[in-house]
């Protein structure tokens, strides 16, 4: 190669050097320069993947907490039979109105919707009350293990008295679609047997023959 290069004329050497330089530039423009940003993109992808991994590992580590909360939420609501849910809903609202002193004006029809896990019942009531009884009424409905929540509330001064509040309250009650049946303690299926007692002995179904002869007595002959 060196002998070939030394055998070229100066002009030919310049042509070869120019062609080699052009090929080098074209090669870099075509294959090298477009990939200059690959390193930055790869670093960004690695950072995003590490962040996603940390988020998912944190969520996985909280699985026992979520399971405990799920059990707590599932056990909060009382199991109400399906045929009594609407009546229980209406009775709870009426009892609370009487207890805190809220005056019911009118009550709408209970609307029932379903989702994957719950039966959701909606009731809209119009009430008239003072400020504190109304606050107590709304607070008590949603406190503790209650199944009832306030979904919507519209308040305005009562146009008749001008000293009380009147409003429409939209209440929502959620009941389990298939409430669990608690097993009766000590109940067992199938035949039961008292511990420590032996099974009854079966008696022979063949009665004793009344014609059986008595045992022979001493001094007497038995007829053959």
Q: Work out the angle at residue 134's Cα, subtended by the Cα atoms of residues 130 and 137, and round it to the nearest 5 degrees.
A: 145
* CB contact burial 201-220 (16+ within 10 A = b; e otherwise): eeeeeeeeeeeeeeeeeeee
Mean pLDDT of 142-166: 82
More confident residue, 83 or 87: 87
Spatial neighbors of 182 by CB under 8 A, at least 6 apart, are 79
Count of C-beta atoms within a 10 Å radius of residue 85:
19
Q: Which pLDDT score is estimated for 10?
A: 81
Domain count, the chain: 2
Same domain, 89 and 22: no
Domain-located, residue 143: yes
Domain-located, residue 48: no
Same domain, 31 and 115: no
Same domain, 168 and 96: yes
Angstrom distance (rounded) from CA 67 to CA 213: 82
Give the model confidence (pLDDT) of 136-153 as tens digits: 888 888 876 667 888 888
Let me know: does 147 contact 78? Beta carbons within 8 Å. Answer: yes
pLDDT above 70 covers what percent of the chain? 70
Same domain, 171 and 88: yes
φ/ψ bin of 217: left (φ > 0), alpha (ψ from -120 to 50), beta (otherwise): beta
More confident residue, 87 or 210: 87
pLDDT-derived band at 53 (thresholds 50, 70, 90) equals very high
Domain-located, residue 121: yes
Residue 120: which domain range?
82-176
Domain-located, residue 55: no
Mean pLDDT (the chain, rounded): 75
Give the model confidence (pLDDT) of 38-51 as tens digits: 888 889 999 999 99
Looking at mean pLDDT, say which of 50-64, 149-163, 170-184, 187-201 comes out highest.
50-64
Q: Which pLDDT score is estimated for 83?
A: 59
Q: Which pLDDT score is estimated for 140?
A: 86
Same domain, 16 and 93: no
Q: Which pLDDT score is estimated for 91?
A: 85
CA distances to 19, 24, 79 from 14, in Å:
9, 15, 95
Identify the DSSP state of 126: E
Domain-located, residue 127: yes
Same domain, 89 and 153: yes
Per DSSP, the residues of 63-80 read: HHHHHHHHHHHHHHSPP-
Element (H, E) at 35: none
Domain-located, residue 53: no
């Amino acid at each position: 190669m060196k002998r070939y290069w030394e055998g070229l004329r100066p002009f030919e050497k310049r042509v070869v050097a120019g062609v080699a330089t052009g090929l080098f530039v074209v090669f870099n423009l075509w294959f090298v320069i477009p990939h200059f940003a690959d390193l930055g993109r790869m670093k960004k992808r690695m950072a995003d993947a590490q962040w996603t991994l940390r988020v998912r590992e944190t969520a996985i580590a909280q699985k026992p907490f979520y399971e405990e909360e799920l059990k707590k939420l599932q056990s909060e609501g009382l199991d109400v039979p399906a045929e009594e849910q609407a009546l229980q809903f209406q009775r709870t609202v009426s009892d609370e109105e009487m207890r805190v002193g809220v005056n019911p004006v009118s009550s709408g029809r209970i609307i029932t919707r379903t989702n994957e896990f719950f039966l959701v019942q909606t009731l809209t009531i119009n009430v008239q009350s003072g400020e504190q009884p109304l606050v107590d009424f709304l607070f008590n409905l949603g406190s503790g293990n209650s199944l009832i929540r306030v979904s919507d509330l519209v308040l305005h001064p009562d146009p008749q008295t001008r000293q009380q509040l009147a409003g429409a309250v939209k209440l929502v009650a959620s009941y389990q679609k298939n409430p669990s049946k608690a097993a009766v303690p000590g109940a067992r299926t199938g035949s039961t047997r008292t511990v420590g007692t032996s099974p009854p002995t079966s008696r022979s179904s063949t009665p004793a023959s009344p014609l059986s002869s008595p045992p022979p007595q001493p001094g007497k002959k038995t007829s053959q």
